[in-house]
Amino acid sequence: MTAVSEPGTTKLQIDLRRHLRELDEDRDLTRLICEVADASKYIVNSIRTGDLGVAGTSNLYGEDQLALDVLSDRILRKRLIHSGVVATILSEETNEVIEVDPNGKFSVAFDPLDGSSLVDVNLAVGTIVSICRGGNLLQPGREQVAAMYILYGPRTTLVYSTGRGVHEFQMNHLMEYTLTTENVRIKPSGRIYSPGGQRNLYTEGTEKYVSSLEEKGYKLRYSGGFVPDINQVMMKGTGIFLYPHLRDNPHGKLRLLFELNPMAFLIEQAGGKASTGKQRILDIEPQGIDDRAPVFIGCREDVETAEELIARYG
Ligand code: FDP
């Protein structure tokens, strides 16, 4: 892989488009990633106006408001449709497949505002995007050509990979994304765990797993937002996030096409691992756009320990 700078170094002057160009990325893919980045500027603005946009209410001027997740969906969808390079899009918000252009190069699945229920309590939320070649959305995650997320926290950051490492950018005062960390790497094991789902519904394997982490002194860090929780693992370079199969729900909660595939792609690119507890997330053959799966994602050895305990105890 040709890196723009040495691993671990910081270059504030490189913007997203230049980074993609210097890595010699496909021009249409560059365009698509930059369209998503541009859309996120409008999304962050909507979040920051403090106008919570509860659907069915009106704003100061008596205009009808859109819920923030609906608004974010419209912003992103419009940019993707006008990019000129997209064949098919699918949003977590509307759950409808939109055939944009049969000659388009890419299919895009996205969650425009993941964790939107956290906006009104002022916790971090994010946008997640998965990009595959061709118009077929139901491809296993290993076929993704790129994945990215944008985290709307105290700072707005964008993390992307086109299969050549994982790179982090930060939005500056001009609302441009500039490179902050190139070639993000995750350690083999960690000291943080983020457990989703109700503990009293964990299976024996997951319960033994979480207890083993606690015995080893792992600290609990769970925000309830998938993007900030994954970003924590990514940027601290350590940790494990799980949203497991539960006794009353063997499929888990998180959705394969919009959440798990893009995050698994990014985490693997950074040297981590992502598993259902039984198989690699990126090898799952999707059966439908609603597919969900349990997930153990983060430091490689921590995911492997989960797999061992689940194989033994379920
Ligand atoms: P949310 O329901 O608030 O939209 O998949 C959505 C998600 O949030 C993830 O962002 C988050 O990791 C998970 O669900 C949280 O689920 P719990 O509320 O069950 O913890």
The dihedrals phi and psi of 169, each to the nearest 5 degrees, come to: -125, 155
Q: Region 59-68: what's the mean pLDDT?
A: 58
Mutate to test the pocket of ligand 1, among 114, 121, 150, 229 (most ligand atoms within 8 A of CB): 114
Mean of per-residue pLDDT scores for the chain? 92
pLDDT at 19: 97
Q: 18-37, pLDDT tens digit by residue?
A: 999 999 999 999 999 999 99
Give the residue from 311, 312, 307 showing the smallest Cα distance to 295. 307
Tell me the CA–centroid distance for residue 9 and ligand 1, in Å: 33
pLDDT at 79 over 70: yes
Which amino acid makes up residue 138? Answer: L
pLDDT band at 1 (very low <50, low <70, confident <90, very high): very low
Pick the CATH number of 16-181 from 3.40.50.2000, 3.40.50.720, 3.30.1360.170, 3.30.540.10: 3.30.540.10
Percentage of the chain exceeding pLDDT 70: 91
Tell me the CA–centroid distance for residue 254 and ligand 1, in Å: 8
Distances (CA, A) of 208 to 190, 219, 306, 313: 17, 16, 9, 8
- Half-sphere exposure for 65 (CA within 13 Å, toward CB): 19
Fold of 192-313: D-Maltodextrin-Binding Protein; domain 2 (3.40.190)
Tell me the CA–centroid distance for residue 115 and ligand 1, in Å: 6
Residue nearest atom 19 in ligand 1 by C-alpha distance: 197
**What is the residue extent of each domain of the chain?**
16-181, 192-313
d(CA 66, CA 205): 43
Residue nearest atom 3 in ligand 1 by C-alpha distance: 115
